[in-house]
Homo-oligomer: A and B are copies of this chain.
Amino acid sequence: MSEPGSSNAHGETRPFRVRSSTAEWAAAILRQRVTQGGLPPGSRLAEDELTAELEVSRNTLREAFSLLGHERLLEHRFNRGVYVRVLSPDDVADIYRVRRMIEGAAVRRPDKDPISLTALRDAVSDAERVAAEGRWLDVGTADLRFHQLIVSFNGSRRVDAMMAQLMAELRLAFHAMDPRGLHAPFLPRNRELLGLLESGRNAEADALLATYLDDAERLLLAVCA
């Protein structure tokens, strides 16, 4: 290791000198555990356990909880503790309602940034490559990146941030499904969508995206309900 630091029982290192706060460090660890499935939706996060395990004070841990709560990954019930969020069917429907709005608006835009287009190509290629290797979790990551990049055509920091939050929420639902069945059907459609975007056929891209999102929503609702 090039950076000095203390390590805890789980091997996660905690740097001595960090620019960001200890709370953000703790939040990063918990975020990873949630998004990677180590902490399934509905799990309770007890303060006693985690302060001992992460070796941070209760106050810092609670600040980390607050951060993840605002990302909608954790749910804070007053006097009852924090839980990993459980997505309801209503949540899934709402998330896809927003996706249709902000991805649709992005796709319909006439002016597409060429730099983002190359990033888009990379995301599709990455997804196909890791799919060939059977790494379906990474396929999911590349897929989310693809759609995040589409949203970025809107050119709005705030919309980008909202999309990032929606993607984090969606990961919660992903863990309830077979990752291959979830992502495999959408790989060729991402490739097709990319082609339409490159050639500027915005109306067709819009239509394809709409059916794409409808199908994805249906898939998740079938599990989530």
Contact = CB atoms under 8 A, between A and B. Distances in A.
A20 B158 contact: no
Interface in A90-131: 94-95, 97-98, 101-102, 105
A67 B67 CA distance: 9
Interface in A157-182: 157-159, 162, 166
- Give the copy number: 2
Give the dominant DSSP class at A's interface.
Answer: helix
B162 A158 contact: yes
A13 interface: no
Q: How large is the interface on A (under 10, 10 to 19, 20 to 34, 35 or more residues)?
A: 20 to 34
A162 B94 CA distance: 13
Interface of A: 19-21, 59, 62-63, 66-67, 70, 78, 94-95, 97-98, 101-102, 105, 154-159, 162, 166
Given A59-B59, A97-B154, A101-B102, 4 more contacts: A63-B66, A98-B158, A98-B159, A158-B162
